[in-house]
Amino acid sequence: MNIFLNFLIASVLAGTPLLFGTIGEIMNEKAGHLNLGVEGMMAMGACAGFMAGFMSNNLLIALLAAFAAGMIGALIYAILTITFMADQNVTGLTLTIFGVGISNFFGEYMLVHSETNSLKLPEQITAQLSNINIPFLTDIPVIGPLLFNYNAFVYLGILTAILCGIYLNHTKLGLNVRAIGENPGAADAAGIKVTKLKYFNVMLGGGICGIGGAYCSMIINGGVWMSNSVNGMGWIAVALVIFASWSPTKAIFGSFVFGGFNILKYYFPKSIITIPNAFYDMLPFIITALVLVITSIRKSKENSQPASCGVNYFREER
């Protein structure tokens, strides 16, 4: 029982960076832009968030910096794909390489110029990053640690997912964005400002990815700077978008499930049955493939990729 509880808690923690990456990518894809640069934007957020936190000793400033860095990454992508109509896949891949590179570059620069050849977050921000204790609620057995004793990022992630869900499904702006993702020509004819909204959504998504990156560098690495801290999580987030069927609220569940798959090998009792680790590492991707197959059989328009995702919108060719 205790191990199971630990497993659930660890799943949530392992899923949180994926949650941010997934919501960010959903915001991109809903506007018709398949952005493969999630890994890069997360890496930029990881570096900016960590360094801002390191220097300002304030979590809020760190989060803002991570958001801004992710947005700058997305802005590069947006200018290239929305304004200059560059190929989305290639631009996204380039953004990944660029983001990881620049993040390591600045991290290295800071390390070399630090006194002890090590960057560790100061006390105050470490305290802000530790698990939140809610009086009474945290003390409830089982439910307390399961629901009310995480770090601030976890709650922020869930809140972001819910807000993005409301934005996409229940606001005029969000519905316009979805119209663009399905058929930008029709949306344009209906008077929606396609370019402007695309920029807005792509950059918003990039900022959210950036916060996911900050989680990697600040929480997973225990507050010590390390190169390559995102280490492939951005790619899992891209797969997770499919698993969550392009819905931010389903992404909450999806990312925790993926987080669970990621750590299953450490919690599954070896005394019952010994399965090679490679099998566990493979699980999330098998499930993603299955989800793809099932959704394509069901042909549900609601749960599939926006129709014009990956295709640039060129007004003159409408």
Distance CA 71, CA 163 (A): 18
Burial of 7 (0-12, 13-18, 19+ CB in 10 A): middle
Cβ 267 to other proteins shortest distance, Å: 6
Under rule CB under 8 A, residue 14 binds other proteins: yes
Tokens standing for residue 290: 């299955």
Which residue of 75, 86, 147, 226 would you call a contact of other proteins, by CB under 8 A? 226
Under rule CB under 8 A, residue 68 binds other proteins: no
- Looking at residues 257 to 286 of the shown chain, list those that interact with other proteins (rule: CB under 8 A): 262-263, 265-267, 269-270, 277-278, 281
Cβ 230 to other proteins shortest distance, Å: 9
Tokens standing for residue 228: 């390559």
Contact 110, 121 (CB under 8 A): no
Closest CB to other proteins among 202 and 230? 230
Task: Give residue for tokens 């490679």.
Answer: 278
Under rule CB under 8 A, residue 104 binds other proteins: yes
Instruction: Give the C-alpha distances (Å, rounded to integers) separating 203 from 7, 77, 141, 198, 305.
Output: 34, 9, 41, 8, 20
Closest CB to other proteins among 190 and 286? 286
Contact 296, 167 (CB under 8 A): no
Which residue of 87, 108, 123, 139 would you call a contact of other proteins, by CB under 8 A? 108
Interface residues with other proteins (CB under 8 A) are 2-3, 6, 10, 13-14, 17, 104, 107-108, 111-112, 114, 116-120, 130, 216, 220-229, 231, 233, 262-263, 265-267, 269-270, 277-278, 281
